[in-house]
Structure 1
Amino acid sequence: MAEPKQNTNVNCTEKEMKHTCTNFHNAIEFIGKRWMGAVIYALLKGPKRYHEIISSIPGISDRLLTERLRDLENEGLVVKKIITTSPKKVEYELTPIGKELEEVVKILIKWVIRRGDAQGVEKVQ
């Protein structure tokens, strides 16, 4: 007689687990897009204008920064504020939900640094 499958989380049905796995995968794919983490990191210190963001991320193109900011806006993680001065200014700021990623980003940075140390990678000064 075959042994029944054991559920490691007794409070979670197979359907709920599949839903959680799908959502987790989607979140990782979103955050893992090229330059996404750098854009989020740049905005953790507060609102920034486009030129401030692009100058803080060496190597990112205008097209990719625009795309990432749009992705973040569409997901409700960033708000684009138009300041009606002369000349008009635009700022990007993390929403409260976007700011919740701070802990995740900082933990990933620590993990990358520890991993680099463990692999004997030189630290960049």
Structure 2
Amino acid sequence: MIHEPRSSCPINRCLEALGDQWSLLILRDIALHDRRSFREILGGNAEHISAPVLSRRLTDLTTSGFLTKVDAPRGKQGRYSLTDLGLATIPLLVELSRLGGLIDPATEDADGLLTMDDAEIKERTEALRARHLGSAG
């Protein structure tokens, strides 16, 4: 993640925060597949992220406010949760899924994102809010 913005453009700032090849996939795994520990994300990631890269990206996403981490007692895995900023990426994940389907129609819509309407996106985001932040609104 880049801490000093190169410009005041909001698209640039978003790309500086999330533009690497892993951050949005990690957020996808947490939001859509409920993988909340380091081990769950590492083992369940279809793109085979390496442990060192996952560790760096989770730290970056936590530092930049997309995730929080609740540490666990020794021998247990800490759990990551989406913040409000992390939840704000849900519509972006949906749109990236739609664009990916246009780029390559052979991709699979395993998460049902291609057919989600605005009401379904809002409903799914609110369910995630309750699970990750402990409130429905």
Q: Would the TM-score normalized by the shorter structure come out above 0.5?
A: yes
Identity %: 21
More strand per residue: 1
Q: Aligned partner of 1:65: which letter?
A: L
Q: Paired residues, what number?
A: 101
In the other structure, the counterpart of 1:112 is: 100
**2: CA distance, partners of 1:35 / 1:92:** 16
Q: Which moved more, 1:42-51 or 1:92-101?
A: 42-51
Give yes or no for the alignment of 1:29 onto 2:16.
yes
Aligned with residue 38 of structure 1, among 25, 34, 39 = 25
The structure with higher relative contact order (CA 8 Å, sep 6+) is 1
CA RMSD of aligned residues (A): 2.1
Contact 2:67 2:82 in 1 (8 A): yes
| 5+ residue gaps, structure 2 | 1-6, 111-137
Q: Runs of 5+ in structure 1 lacking a partner? A: 1-17
| Partner AA of 1:83 in structure 2 | A
**Aligned counterpart, 1:56:** 44
Deviation of the 1:97 alpha carbon = 1.5
The alignment's TM-score, normalised by the length of structure 2, stands at: 0.65
Q: Distance in 2 between matches of 1:100 and 1:79?
A: 14
Moved over 4 A (4+): none
